[in-house]
Amino acid sequence: MKVVIIVIDKHGAILQYTSQLSSALSRGNQVTVIAPIGAEKELFNNSVNLTLLPVGDTKKNFIINTLLINRALNFLKAIQKEKPDIIHLQQPHHLWNLLLFPLRKKYPILATVHDAEPHIGFERLHKIIARNWNFKYLSRAFIVHGQVEKDRLEKSLGSLGIKKKCYVVSHGDYSFFTKYSKTDIQEINAVLFFGQITQYKGLEYLLKASPLISKKIPDAKIIIAGKGDLRKYANLMETIDNIEIHNRYIPNEEVAMFFQRAKVVVLPYVHASQSGIIPIAYAFKKPVVVTNVGSIPEVVEDGKTGFIVPLRDSESLAEAIIKLLSNDELRKEMGKNAYIKMKRELSWDKIAEKTLVVYGEIVAKT
């Protein structure tokens, strides 16, 4: 099968996801990925045809590149040159997707909706317009990463009077980060909060849990690693003695270090769809403590690969973290279970196999 995947991110989670999916799909299929100039090429397998073009995920980029008509035409020509059986969009809300309108009848289009609902603080009018337009006129079907996400998306589609098929395909593993591991890094009594710092990730609940953790485990350290505005958390952070902050974008080659050092990975989210942080934690045999929100509990076995706690509940969060930090045998067993789950259920070969079934159904209806 000939597949064209379009991604508008230069780095980060969606590009990482696209690189792993396309590499797995390329075993037995012809896969082309169209990505922005500057995208991290090293993430992609040599069997993937990577085409870099001047596209981008901002209104400014879209307006400039569309006014420069040759760029828009080259984007469409790059797709038509491949004569794909299917076009697979990573995210439905990018403005560049609008340029595909002339091709919608010639090639079936599918979109992976990584977030069925915009996260708190991420609502943007131009993205909502592009997303709804895509839902109505462009994509024939959608992939989401969990049953809760499927329910959410179907509700959103229904509110627009749209009835299109939604498929559930789990988020794949991120074990490729383990290649950056170093033998001289020691695990410490640390809790890791990793990734972009945004309102919906509930960092304040981990910070409020920290004094409760310290009462039971005095040497416990909170590690925060990710880019984002920390000013609203300043007062809470001032009350914590043992905290380590890396307030910047973490490049791929540094990711392993943070997961190697930590004993537990925490996702205290107040709104979520799914998260690539969990597969990274599993790859490093780390148990997770997550909140019961979105499709996140669908990939965490409570008491086996981690603990699921109520959202906005710092006491329950602290209790779960204390339970893991104070019991090495339990923590290591859960970390081992997490790794096994990743290998059995989240391998990219399995994800690619399920994705190809979706492709086949859509192409068959064309």
CA geometry: angle 31, 273, 364, nearest 5 deg: 40
pLDDT at residue number 127: 75
By CB atoms closer than 10 A (0-12, 13-18, 19+), residue 172 is: buried
* Most confidently modeled range among 30-34, 89-93, 117-121: 30-34
Q: How many whole angstroms separate alpha carbon 111 and alpha carbon 132?
A: 12
Mean pLDDT of 169-187: 95
The full set of domain ranges for the chain reads 2-172+347-364, 175-345
Q: Residue 194 above 90 pLDDT?
A: yes
CB 100 within 8 A of CB 57: no
CA dihedral (327, 303, 343, 360) in degrees, to 10, reads -160
C-alpha radius of gyration, the chain, whole number:
21
Q: Residue 119 above 90 pLDDT?
A: no
Res. 207 pLDDT band, cuts 50 70 90: very high
Q: How many whole angstroms separate alpha carbon 235 and alpha carbon 233?
A: 6
pLDDT at residue number 120: 64
Q: Which carries the bigger pLDDT value, residue 350 or residue 98?
A: 350
Q: Residue 272 above 90 pLDDT?
A: no
Q: How many whole angstroms separate alpha carbon 234 and alpha carbon 229?
A: 10
Task: Identify the weakest region by mean pLDDT among 119-128, 146-155, 249-258.
Answer: 119-128
pLDDT at residue number 130: 81
By CB atoms closer than 10 A (0-12, 13-18, 19+), residue 347 is: middle
Mean of the per-residue pLDDT values for the chain?
A: 92
pLDDT at residue number 192: 98
Question: Whose CA is closest to 84, among 131, 36, 39, 51?
Answer: 51
Q: What is the three-class DSSP state of 205?
A: helix
Q: How many whole angstroms separate alpha carbon 286 and alpha carbon 334?
A: 7
Res. 249 pLDDT band, cuts 50 70 90: very high
pLDDT at residue number 64: 62
Mean pLDDT of 54-70: 63
Q: How many whole angstroms separate alpha carbon 22 and alpha carbon 45?
A: 8
Superfamily of 2-172+347-364 according to CATH? Glycogen Phosphorylase B; (3.40.50.2000)
Q: Which residues contact 190 (CB under 8 A, 6 or more apart)?
A: 220, 221, 222, 223, 244, 261, 262, 263, 264
Superfamily of 175-345 according to CATH? Glycogen Phosphorylase B; (3.40.50.2000)
pLDDT at residue number 218: 95
pLDDT at residue number 92: 81
pTM: 0.90
> For residue 350, what are the CA distances in angstroms to 8, 58, 226, 363?
25, 33, 30, 20
pLDDT at residue number 123: 60
Q: Which carries the bigger pLDDT value, residue 153 or residue 70?
A: 153
Question: Whose CA is closest to 16, among 197, 229, 255?
Answer: 255
Mean pLDDT of 171-181: 95
Helix then strand count (H, E) for the chain reads 12, 13
pLDDT at residue number 242: 93
In this chain, the answer to whether the domains covering 2-172+347-364 and 175-345 adopt an identical fold is yes
Q: Residue 205 above 70 pLDDT?
A: yes
For the chain, the straight-line distance linking the first and the last C-alpha, in angstroms and rounded, comes to 14
Res. 83 pLDDT band, cuts 50 70 90: very high
Q: Residue 67 above 90 pLDDT?
A: no
pLDDT at residue number 56: 59
Mean pLDDT of 79-92: 94
**pLDDT per residue over 17-59, tens digit each?**
999 999 999 999 999 999 999 999 999 999 999 999 987 555 5
Structure tokens at 250: 């973490």
